[in-house]
Amino acid sequence: MEVSWEQSVEDSINTIYLLFSAYLVFVMQLGFAMLCAGSVRAKNAMNIMLTNVVDAVVGSISYYLFGFAFAFGDGSVSNPFIGTNFFALFNIPNSSYDYTFFLYQWAFAIAAAGITSGSIAERTQFTAYLIFSFFLTGFVYPVVAHWVWSSSGWLSPSSSELLFGSGAIDFAGSGVVHLVGGIAGFWGSFIEGPRFGRFDSFGKPVQMRGHNATLVVLGTFLLWFGWYGFNAGSFDKILVSYPTTTDQGNWTAVGRVAVTTTLAGSTAGIVTLFGRRLLVGHWDALDVCNGLLGGFVAITSGCSVVEPWAAIVCGFFAAWVLIGLNILALKLKFDDPLEATQLHGGCGAWGLIFTGLFAKEEFVVQTFDSGESGVVRPYGVLMGGGWGLLGAQVVEVLVIVVWVSLTMGPLFYTLHKLKLLRISVDDEIAGLDISSHGGHAYVHQEENQSPFIAYRPLQDH
């Protein structure tokens, strides 16, 4: 049947919207690269930038071959655990998915790998990055995405058999992306152990500040910019009207998501600024950057289903989750150069719980049922919606921790036993750039000087 011109225009606008969102999410890779580069010492800058490139290129192949199928491949018999169709994009596009949707979801998958890369920075063999990045984007992450985002997933709020009558609300991935990346990073960092010299002989932490605050701030703003595609773009379609109103649709919800994202991140940033000022006695731009990102991570789950005032509550507590976990990490001698485990893991878990507390019924129905009248769904406990949603949120936190621990933990341990994980102490002291990548990220003047000084006779005056 011939498609009407109105339908063609609507489909085109929705496609442009999702493509633009995918581009924004991909820009976050540049943000991760700059943030990571600035947060490590100069002798490891080339290494960490290369690993961010590797996450993108290796993730492209693994997600194309396996990842998308495991995440969204619903065959003739739906499987609540893992997808079984669309390997290597076979039979794509179809009535359910097209190439644009694949590209958008791929950008999410490589973001999860980028989180983990930061946790094991400055002491990891390059081979290990290739292996874990392929495994994470091709299998570990997609299985969780299937649980929550596929219509047949057992945790999905779009499933025909809703867990606790609700399903877990993880709209843009506080759990699916950030908690997965954070827990994977935890196991990599824990199995490797701290960087050489990070703790002295008495167990006291030795500060190892990143070499370039400018790159950290640049990376933070790039991530902030990209997060609007990460969160608001997760509607997939912008031209969806709500039948109970005459002037509202996904286009109004998209604006609300951008506002809640902004408020949560900004609140977390300002709370971290003053909180760290009280603890360490000075204003620290780098701490504020991580606090800001922690607020974004936390709101990512419930950005579409909460009021703007609730986003401020989310950001406030996200800041203290991050500050508290960083203090605990030092006490336990846990070394994560990017604070990725604490930031993405801790704030991601808080974001899921927050959604179970503050989700608003009207917004839940708009997000998952396009505002259809007569639909009843559990919503936030503190909003009067019962315990079903919060129970599903807690289950999501627990199963992600268990799943990633059972998959990534053994992988990192195997790499460790095969001596493929950590570099030698000598190489670590010299720096990965010179020991593994043929030179420093920054060209030093003495490296370019000729051994012969050009002779030029004095001119007569």
In DSSP notation, 191-259 reads: HH-SPTTSB-TTS-B-----S-HHHHHHHHHHHHHHHHHHHGGGGS-S--B-TT-SS-BHHHHHHHHHH
CA 215 to chain CA centroid, nearest Å: 19
In DSSP notation, 201-220 reads: TTS-B-----S-HHHHHHHH
State the helix-helix crossing angle for 141-149 and 180-192, rounded to 10 degrees: 150
pLDDT at 140: 97
CA 316 to chain CA centroid, nearest Å: 20
Count of other CB atoms within 10 angstroms of residue 89: 14
- What is d(CA 352, CA 390) in angstroms, rounded to the nearest whole number? 8
Q: What is the DSSP letter of 172?
A: S
Q: Residue 199 pairs with which residues in a beta bridge?
A: 205
* C-alpha to C-alpha distances, 234 to 87, 297, 321, nearest whole angstrom: 23, 14, 25
Residue 450 lies in a domain: no
Residue 89 lies in a domain: yes
pLDDT at 452: 44
Domain count, the chain: 1
Query: Residues 29, 56: contact at Cβ < 8 Å?
Result: yes
- What is d(CA 32, CA 281) in angstroms, rounded to the nearest whole number? 28
User: What's 379's domain CATH number?
Assistant: 1.10.3430.10
Q: Residue 124 pairs with which residues in a beta bridge?
A: 422
pLDDT at 461: 47
- Tokens representing 89 are 């994009």
End-to-end CA distance of the chain: 90
**What DSSP element (H or E) covers 306?**
none
- Tokens representing 356 are 């179970």
- What is d(CA 392, CA 167) in angstroms, rounded to the nearest whole number? 6
Residue 449 lies in a domain: no
**What DSSP element (H or E) covers 65?**
none
Q: What is the DSSP letter of 91?
A: T
- Tokens representing 405 are 């621990």
Nearest to 325 by CA among 352, 357, 291: 291
- Cβ contacts of 144 within 8 Å, gap of 6 or more: 175, 176, 180, 400, 403, 404
pTM (predicted TM-score): 0.93
Nearest to 384 by CA among 401, 400, 399, 364: 364
- Tokens representing 352 are 């899921």
What are 164-177's pLDDT values in tens digits?
Answer: 999 999 999 999 99
pLDDT at 444: 62
pLDDT at 451: 45
* C-alpha to C-alpha distances, 346 to 33, 74, 113, 192, 253, nearest whole angstrom: 21, 31, 17, 20, 27
Q: Domain residues for 292?
A: 12-439
38: left (phi over 0), alpha (psi -120 to 50) or beta: alpha
Q: Residue 249 pairs with which residues in a beta bridge?
A: 241
Residue 314 lies in a domain: yes
**Which residues in the chain land under pLDDT 70?**
1, 76-77, 444-461
pLDDT at 445: 53
- Tokens representing 180 are 């997965």
- What is d(CA 279, CA 220) in angstroms, rounded to the nearest whole number? 23
Residue 306 lies in a domain: yes
pLDDT at 372: 85
Residue 328 lies in a domain: yes
Q: What is the DSSP letter of 44?
A: G
Residue 452 lies in a domain: no
- What is d(CA 40, CA 33) in angstroms, rounded to the nearest whole number? 11
Residue 1 lies in a domain: no
State the helix-helix crossing angle for 308-331 and 250-280, rounded to 10 degrees: 40
What are the phi and psi torsion angles at 422 (to 5°)? -105, 145
